[in-house]
Chain A
């Protein structure tokens, strides 16, 4: 089955600086890679996703890059703000295979230092 590794497990960044979180996956058939943000005591919420036919996707201060050959993808947050503090999860799945099981990484606790 799919195995998703995520690094680092904790990350502290000065407000205004950039943050990068990296994930690797094992199943070459995985083609859908979402990122979820979970604030303390809240539910995970999708912040951005990318499919295997795209190398990069941006949404304002958030971007995700995908390297299919190396089987890794990364989340980039620029101009970080205090409200970016949360746990971030990457995930991978085989979309459209009839069984869209999301395999999550172990999470990164991001702390923005004011």
Chain B
């Protein structure tokens, strides 16, 4: 009965490879997010989807491509991985814009290590 789940939990890969991270929420929320937490613990939003529609797209290299097949799932595909992509990637969800229910529920994170 996990609220927000991510797979995989750990991902170790070489520079230049392409990898994907998957996220699912069973809270019935309309909005999902991807955050990147770097080695200094700084949490920065990357993307947000509301009902499968992209609503936030921060200044992120276009090697990162999110995809939301339905409102319960949000995936992140990363092409041509670089050393600087090493971080913990968190998925989160919330009820959605305009609802006043702003709490964001975070997934357990995916620790990506690029060697």
A interface residues, Cβ below 8 angstroms from B: 32, 34, 38, 42-46, 49, 87, 89, 93, 95-104, 106-107, 109
Contacts and interface: CB of A to CB of B under 8 A. Distances in A.
A102 B42 contact: no
Nearest to A32: B102
B45 A34 contact: no
A43 B108 CA distance: 5
A83 to B, nearest CB: 19
Contacts of A102: 45, 104
16 contacts: A34-B102, A34-B103, A43-B106, A43-B108, A44-B43, A45-B106, A46-B104, A49-B102, A93-B102, A98-B98, A100-B94, A101-B56, A104-B43, A106-B40, A106-B42, A107-B42
Contact of B45 (A42, A45, A101): A101
A101 B104 CA distance: 10
A95 B62 CA distance: 28
Interface string B11-44: 0000000000000000000010000000011111
B90 A44 contact: yes
A98 B97 contact: yes
B45 A43 contact: no
A107 B41 contact: yes
Contact of B107 (A43, A96, A98, A100): A43
Interface in B63-115: 90, 94, 97-98, 100, 102-104, 106-109
Nearest to B103: A46
Nearest to B6: A43
Contact of A43 (B40, B42, B97, B109): B109
B100 A95 contact: yes
